[in-house]
Amino acid sequence: MSVQYFASPLAFAKRWANYGLNRYRKLHTFGKLFIWMLLIFYICFGAFIIIMKPSRIAQFLYDKARLLAAMQFGWLMLLAALVGVSFPPAIGHTTIITLCGFAYGLKGFWIGAAGSVLGSSISFLTLRLLFSKRLHAWSSQNQKWQALESVVTAKGLPLIILIRVSPFPPWVYSNSLFASIEAVKLWQFIIATCCVFPKILLHTFIGSKIAELSDGDQRGHMDTRTKILDILFVVGGIIIAIFASWTVYNLVQKHIRHLEGISPEIDELAAEAIENYDEEAPLLSPTRE
């Protein structure tokens, strides 16, 4: 296969790498120290898994997930967690969605969907109310942001949906992004968020299949064919999620850069505003007077 065939996936992977590096560079000393401590933790955790055996750890996690599901308000705890990770700079939306499937099976989709809409809506309203003055002062001096606002105003809901389902910016910063664009109404944001439901369903499904493989009792009653199918479902789901994210990201960039009725200069500035949002973050960064 030609190098050109891999150009877009490689660019997508590079984008993720650059995103992480840029976030790291902007951290204070304590923030960077925390990242290194987290990295050491994961290395030790990986060694712990190898020593204790993955099957025993998987069983432990499955048992705890069963306890959570058996609790009267276990679903409310996951709902609250989804609301919490909807505010920057928190992370973990996809992990909690997968946990919903791990604990509740496909029924966890309803928890994940409700928590995602509720959390993102609260985040949207809170950030917009708290930072409206800062946003106004910042956007009036930023050509990229003015271009993005004009593009969103002109194209409306279809473009909002397309940006929302894109993996960039990531979920929590996407909430902040839309709160920053005054042309985006709350009802439009909620509808666009509902369009992420297929992704939520996919991660819930992956979590449910991981749960089946984690329980020794269920695994012991499975024949080889069923085990292989469950493993393929998990791996296939992850591949589909990555491929879908890459495809949507490219669609967003291509669409914004070739909008009809909008000058190429405005298109390019709008696309750059989305690409570099994690670096500028108008609702989170100090406003330059």
Segment 115-133, tens digit of pLDDT: 999 999 999 999 888 876 7
Give the confidence band of 28 by pLDDT, cuts at 50, 70, 90.
low
Residue linked to tokens 């309803």: 110
Helices (H) and strands (E) in the chain, counts: 16, 0
- Could you tell me if 156 and 48 lie in one domain? no
Nearest to 145 by CA among 268, 285, 287, 273: 273
Q: In the predicted model, is pLDDT for residue 103 greater than 60? A: yes
Q: In the predicted model, is pLDDT for residue 210 greater than 50? A: yes
The answer to whether the pTM exceeds 0.85 is no
- Could you tell me if 48 and 67 lie in one domain? no
Residue linked to tokens 């750059």: 272
Answer yes or no: is 105 within a domain. Answer: yes
- Could you tell me if 33 and 105 lie in one domain? no
Please state whether 168 falls in left (phi above 0), alpha (psi between -120 and 50) or beta. beta
d(CA 281, CA 269): 16
Q: Which helix (H) or strand (E) holds 244?
A: helix 224-257
Q: Which helix (H) or strand (E) holds 93?
A: helix 93-104
- Could you tell me if 34 and 160 lie in one domain? no
Copy the structure tokens of residue 26: 């902007």
Answer yes or no: is 259 within a domain. Answer: yes
Task: Pick from 192-196, 214-218, 281-285 the range whose average pLDDT is largest.
Answer: 192-196
Answer yes or no: is 3 within a domain. Answer: no
Cis peptide before 169 (omega within 30 of 0): yes
- Could you tell me if 103 and 213 lie in one domain? yes
- Could you tell me if 154 and 25 lie in one domain? no
Angle subtended by helix axes 143-155 and 132-139, to nearest 10: 110
Answer yes or no: is 192 within a domain. Answer: yes
**What is the model's pLDDT at position 6?**
43
- Could you tell me if 39 and 80 lie in one domain? no
Answer yes or no: is 130 within a domain. Answer: yes
d(CA 156, CA 179): 15
pLDDT tens across 178-203, in order? 887 888 899 999 999 999 999 999 99
**What is the model's pLDDT at position 1?**
40
- Could you tell me if 110 and 224 lie in one domain? yes
Nearest to 211 by CA among 61, 111, 67, 45: 61
Residue linked to tokens 């105003």: 153
d(CA 80, CA 115): 7
Answer yes or no: is 255 within a domain. Answer: yes
- The answer to whether the CB of 180 falls within 8 A of the CB of 283 is yes
Task: Pick from 51-55, 77-81, 215-219 the range whose average pLDDT is largest.
Answer: 77-81
Mean pLDDT confidence for 248-263: 65
- Could you tell me if 79 and 65 lie in one domain? yes
- The answer to whether the CB of 166 falls within 8 A of the CB of 252 is yes
- The answer to whether the CB of 110 falls within 8 A of the CB of 74 is no
Answer yes or no: is 110 within a domain. Answer: yes
Q: End of a domain among 10, 27, 52? A: 52
SS3 268: helix
Question: Higher-confidence residue: 191 or 209?
Answer: 191
pLDDT tens across 218-240, in order? 777 777 777 787 778 778 877 87
d(CA 132, CA 154): 22
- Could you tell me if 184 and 114 lie in one domain? yes
Q: In the predicted model, is pLDDT for residue 288 greater than 70? A: no
- Could you tell me if 132 and 261 lie in one domain? yes
**What is the model's pLDDT at position 5?**
40
Q: Which helix (H) or strand (E) holds 188?
A: helix 186-194
Q: In the predicted model, is pLDDT for residue 142 greater than 80? A: no
**What is the model's pLDDT at position 23?**
65
Q: In the predicted model, is pLDDT for residue 244 greater than 80? A: no
Answer yes or no: is 10 within a domain. Answer: no
Q: In the predicted model, is pLDDT for residue 100 greater than 80? A: yes
Question: Higher-confidence residue: 41 or 260?
Answer: 41
| Domain extent for 129 | 58-280
- Could you tell me if 84 and 112 lie in one domain? yes
d(CA 75, CA 221): 28
What's the domain count of the chain?
Answer: 2
